[in-house]
Structure 1
Amino acid sequence: MTHTATTEEKIREFVKFSATVTGFSEFDLWGTGQAEAYYETVVDREGADALQQAISSDPSAVAADPVVKSIIKLWYVGVWYGPELTGRVDVAAWTAPGRSGAKPAVPDDSQPEESLRRQATPGQRQHGQDRAGDNDERTPPFVVSPDAYTEGLLWRAIGAHPSGAKAPGYGSWANPPTLENH
């Protein structure tokens, strides 16, 4: 009888892998509260097979894998930049006026979230194609969850606090910053 991993086991494996590629401990990653949301995002956007391939790839090749680069960015800034956007950003798509018929500069509440992302079943996508199978237009980057920005590893890595959230307190500007040893 073969053992099929449960979703919980797959998330644990994802966090263990993420700890390796981000340089933060599994404890730190679980502490963000984002593990499940990030796992679901990767599986939804790239498919379970692409994630498993990234996790089980040769450690020397991991840094070159575009899915791995997207996972690292996801943990650090809380934004999903699909592999197709690794290394480049379509500035025109993000600076276009919101209601001119072009893609909105920032997703707004007037459009259901599901209409902003192309939907298809996991695994339907081939690397370099969008989930619907055509190459011409990709899903723009998006913030994965309401807490993703404030929980990004970026803030801990640079010894800062996210603007507008987790303020260090009144008068804290008078003290020099302290950096954690990572």
Structure 2
Amino acid sequence: MTTINKILNVDDYYFDVFMSISEALTGFSVNELQSTGLAETYYTYILGNLEAATFAEFLTVSKNVIENSYTPDQLRNAITAEIIADSGMNDMAGKIITLWYLGTWEGNYINDLSYQEGLVWNVMHAHPPGAKQPGYKSWNVQPVNSNS
């Protein structure tokens, strides 16, 4: 019960674990994830919409994976073996990836900002339609070529 109570504070170690595993799962750095302005929102949203013990278990497994991996290859292998291979952990990892990339949790947007700051827009070199325009005279700049 102590872990579950401790996890409710975004300033604690488990928030850092959440950010580190998010970095490993999304391929975006912690700084890039923080720059969305949604890290704390996502962390507390998950806590409010999931059994705290389930999230605590995921973060404990993630913590062990991160602490016992010394190279990027070891981290990838540990994530595959300890998170992806376990159906419950895999489901949680998928939800976190979807949360960061699309701004949704189980098909629902967290808030307006989660749509605008979804990582998918960066990957596509695009902007969220109707929410964040590319800027004045953007038509004058040649689009990014995905083949380059």
Instruction: Give the corresponding residue for 1:176.
Output: 142
Q: Is there any run of 5+ residues in structure 2 with no aligned partner, and where?
A: 63-77
4+ runs deviating over 6 angstroms: none
RMSD: 2.5
1:3-42 equivalences under 5 Å are 4=6, 6-9=9-12, 10-42=14-46
TM-score normalized with structure 1 length: 0.58
Alignment-derived partner of residue 62 in structure 1: 83
What one-letter code is carried by the residue in structure 2 that aligns with 1:157? V
Specify the alignment match of 2:72 in structure 1: none
8 A Cα contact 2:20 2:30, kept in partner: yes
User: What is residue 131 of structure 2 aligned with on the other side?
Assistant: 165
Provide the TM-score with structure 2 as the length reference.
Answer: 0.70
User: How many residues in Structure 1 have an aligned counterpart in Structure 2?
Assistant: 120
Where does the alignment leave 5 or more consecutive residues of structure 1 unmatched?
A: 82-140
Aligned identity (percent) is 34
What's the CA shift for 1:70?
0.6
CA distance in 2, matches of 1:178, 1:51: 38
- 1:30-55 Cα deviation digits (max 9, x unpaired): 11011111111212222222223223
Question: 1:136-155 to 2 correspondence within 5 Å?
Answer: 141-155=107-121
- CA positional deviation for 1:17: 1.2
Q: CA deviation at 1:166?
A: 2.2
**Of the two, which has the highest radius of gyration?**
1
Q: Secondary structure at 2:79's aligned position in 1? A: coil
Q: Is the 8 A contact 1:37 1:145 kept in 2?
A: no
Greater fraction helix: 2
Q: Which moved more, 1:19-28 or 1:170-179?
A: 170-179
- What do the CA deviations read for 1:24-82 (whole angstroms, capped 9, x no partner)? 0000011101111111121222222222322315522423510110110000011111x
